[in-house]
Amino acid sequence: MGIALTVVSLIGAVLSLSTVSIFLYHRETPVIKASNFDLSCLLLFSLFLCFLFLLTFIGRPTVWTCMLRHTAFGVTFALCMSCVLGKTIVVVMAFKATLPGSIVLSPRELLFARAVIFTVAEINNNSALLNGISHLSTCACLSDRRIYPTFFRTVPSDQFQISALVQLMKHFGWQWLGIIHSDEVYSSDGVAEFIKQGKAEGICVEYVIFYNRFNTEIEHIVTEQLKSSTSSVVLLFMSLSHTRQLFKKVDGNKLPRKQWIGSEDWISQVELASLGSKNVLHGAMGFALPQSIIPGLVEFILSLKPSDEPESVMIKAFWESFFECSFSPSNSRKLCTGDEDLRTITSAYTNREVRSVRNVYTAVYSIAHALNSLLQCENGLNPTTGKHCVNKTDVQPKQVQRIPINN
């Protein structure tokens, strides 16, 4: 029995380590990335420990070996089950997202996706456009090249926005204010930097509210704080989705008038004033991305029809949500025809102020320009890098990173 346990233990441990090695070697491939690399490695490591702990059952039991068996079994079993449960939840969520009526993207994200399609088509129709190349992640943390060596953006870092907000407060003499922010890194890091810079300018913070959408008491907390506070200025540092939820929760609570200072993600969204928040937004200021016109983009966005993507469950779900209709017979909703006009509705998707979309447009052009330069080949060498030519099927992110993009 001891020999059998030893053989099983060693074979299992070796197989677990071998599988981990394979995962590490192929960690950049789509299959490994899609399998949740970190969670898979943790699961394999826990299996490795499980097999090794079989060795503790060999030999005469003692008090210490019995204690070790109980402890080791409890820890490894809990670790294994946690990993399996985590991967199961991910798979279940993925399958649920593909069910009819499930919307994976928000209307705003659908807008960005359509902007990518438009830009790629524009480039494919006229590759000469790449010669004139001069999305939405603004977190200053992403500027760390040690952690994000291949990350680029076509939108300014929050570091600039925060400095501008501090100067805005200083300009109007607002030195006493409250802050509400969400649980995203974008918000928490931004607020921390604002407090740091504001302190140097004599700006004091009366309160800071951590907004958690799952907190059932958050509406009461925000309402009572706004009513009892002595400051008349509120910095609301949140994403658009969190801001929309917050205003819907507190609207109608007879809040005192406040001067709202908004972060870039929501300050230019005019529909907020009509989405159940008109009693809250008596005044709002902030800094927004510049408005721009992209010829043909608005027409392309608004020309979308379900017939363009007949197999897309997502497009049909959006369409039913936009027009409050159904493609299947329903007693509560009218029947969708597929010919409804997007110009007749108000949504983040139909918002004609395509400020953020310009970043998507520019990002696609930047990547296309870098790829176009990287794939050039003259006499076996790339004229930009001076190195051997690259096959389009072998392009790596670090290679694209090193291609200069000229305005």
Tens-place pLDDT, residues 283-332:
788 888 777 778 888 888 889 999 988 888 888 988 998 898 999 888 88
Instruction: Give residue 34's pLDDT.
Output: 61
Domain boundary (286, 304, 327) is at 286
Instruction: Give residue 123's pLDDT.
Output: 63
CB 157 within 8 A of CB 140: yes
Count of domains for the chain? 3
Based on the domain organization, do 173 and 244 belong to the same domain? yes
Q: Greater confidence, 139 or 382?
A: 382
Please list the residues that pair with 326 across neighbouring strands.
335
Nearest 10 degrees: Cα torsion 30, 35, 37, 40: -150
Based on the domain organization, do 221 and 326 belong to the same domain? no
Q: Greater confidence, 100 or 27?
A: 27
CB 51 within 8 A of CB 12: yes
Per-residue pLDDT band for 81 (boundaries 50, 70, 90) equals confident
Instruction: Give residue 345's pLDDT.
Output: 85
Q: What's the CATH code of the domain at 164?
A: 3.40.50.2300
Based on the domain organization, do 259 and 332 belong to the same domain? no
Taking residues 275-280, report their average pLDDT.
60
Q: What are 196-252's pLDDT values in tens digits?
A: 999 999 999 999 999 988 888 888 999 999 999 999 999 999 888 888 888 888 877
Based on the domain organization, do 201 and 171 belong to the same domain? yes
Among 48-52, 95-99, 204-208, 254-258, the range scoring the smallest mean pLDDT is 95-99
Based on the domain organization, do 183 and 74 belong to the same domain? no
Strands (E), 42-135: none
Q: Angle, to 10 degrees, between the axis of helix 240-250 and the axis of helix 218-228? A: 70
Instruction: Give residue 226's pLDDT.
Output: 92
Taking the CB of residue 220, how many other CB atoms lie within 10 A of it? Answer: 13
Has residue 62 got a pLDDT over 70?
yes
Instruction: Give residue 1's pLDDT.
Output: 64
Based on the domain organization, do 265 and 313 belong to the same domain? no
Domain boundary (72, 97, 122) is at 97
Nearest 10 degrees: Cα torsion 318, 319, 323, 329: -110
Has residue 134 got a pLDDT over 50?
no
Instruction: Give residue 105's pLDDT.
Output: 57
Instruction: Give residue 31's pLDDT.
Output: 64
Q: Greater confidence, 359 or 401?
A: 359
* Domain presence at residue 324: yes
Tally the residues of the chain.
407
Handedness of CA 383, 385, 386, 389 (dihedral sign): negative
**Cα(298)–Cα(312) distance, rounded to whole angstroms?**
22
Taking the CB of residue 289, how many other CB atoms lie within 10 A of it? Answer: 20
* Domain presence at residue 396: no
Domain residues for the domain of 21 are 2-97
> Residue 190 corresponds to which amino acid?
G
* Domain presence at residue 172: yes
Based on the domain organization, do 229 and 195 belong to the same domain? yes
Based on the domain organization, do 12 and 44 belong to the same domain? yes
* Domain presence at residue 355: no
Residues of the chain with pLDDT > 90, as a percent, come to 18
Please list the residues that pair with 211 across neighbouring strands.
182
Nearest 10 degrees: Cα torsion 147, 151, 156, 162: -20
**Cα(59)–Cα(65) distance, rounded to whole angstroms?**
10
* Domain presence at residue 359: no
pTM across the whole model: 0.54
Instruction: Give residue 132's pLDDT.
Output: 37
Based on the domain organization, do 168 and 281 belong to the same domain? yes
* Domain presence at residue 14: yes
User: Residue 286 — φ and ψ, nearest 5°?
Assistant: 175, -175
From residue 240, give the alpha-carbon distance in Å to each of 135, 159, 187, 233: 15, 19, 11, 19
DSSP, residue by residue, 257-306: P-EEEE-HHHHT-GGGGGSS-TTT-S-EEE--PPP---TTHHHHHHT--G
* Domain presence at residue 133: no
Instruction: Give residue 174's pLDDT.
Output: 94
Q: What is the mean pLDDT of the chain?
A: 78
Domain boundary (44, 65, 97) is at 97
Q: What are 318-364's pLDDT values in tens digits?
A: 899 889 899 988 888 899 999 999 988 877 777 766 667 777 777 78
Q: Greater confidence, 274 or 236?
A: 236
> Residue 160 corresponds to which amino acid?
F
**Cα(116)–Cα(302) distance, rounded to whole angstroms?**
15
**94 exposed, middle or buried (CB, 10 Å; 0-12, 13-18, 19+)?**
exposed
